[in-house]
Structure 1
Amino acid sequence: MKIIIWICFVIMLGGFGTGFYIKIVETNPEIGDKIIGLSVLFTSFIFMPLFLYHRWKGKDIKDYVLDKKKLDEMREKDL
């Protein structure tokens, strides 16, 4: 999974770099904007879900949620 995430990260950076290069150096802003937009879509819908799944796999969400019981425990420790 780490290798897939790294490959997606490199593709994302390559897309952004290519888009900005074409937009600035080649003086073709339409194509550069399209490449940058596709890179943003790739980041949003492919890279980010893969990354979040990899980071949260095997963890319990209850450990990160602040509820009334934990608030009461924190208040008792402060007193």
Structure 2
Amino acid sequence: MKYLIRILFVLFLLGVAVGFYIKSQPESFADGQKIIGVSVLFFSFILMPLFIYHRWKDKNLKDYMLTQENLDKMRNKGPEKSDNQ
């Protein structure tokens, strides 16, 4: 999955670069904008969801929710105050 995401990211960068190159040509300005637009849509609707799924697939969402139990854990893990201060 990691390699697939990297390959898709490189394809996205190539698409944007090609789009800007084609956009710089005076006769094909609209074609360059279309290529850039398709690349951004690809990034938004294919690459980003794959990346988010890959990063969150083995995580426990309860650890990241702000519940009373987690608030108590955060309060108890604070730095110990010394008597010298």
Unaligned runs of 5+ residues in structure 2 are 79-85
Distance 2:62 2:69 in 1: 12
Identity of aligned residues (%): 57
TM-score by length of 1: 0.83
Count of aligned positions: 78
Aligned residue for 1:58, secondary structure, equals coil
Unaligned runs of 5+ residues in structure 1 are none
Q: Could you list the per-position Cα deviations for residues 33-70 of structure 1 after superposition, in whole angstroms to 9, with x for gaps in the alignment?
A: 10011001100111011111111111111111112333
Alignment of 1:1-79 (within 5 A): 1-24=1-24, 26-27=25-26, 28-75=28-75
Point out the structure with max Rg over C-alpha. 2
Measured on the aligned residues, the alpha-carbon RMSD in Å equals 1.8
Q: Counting helix residues as a fraction of each chain, which structure ranks higher?
A: 1
TM-score by length of 2: 0.78
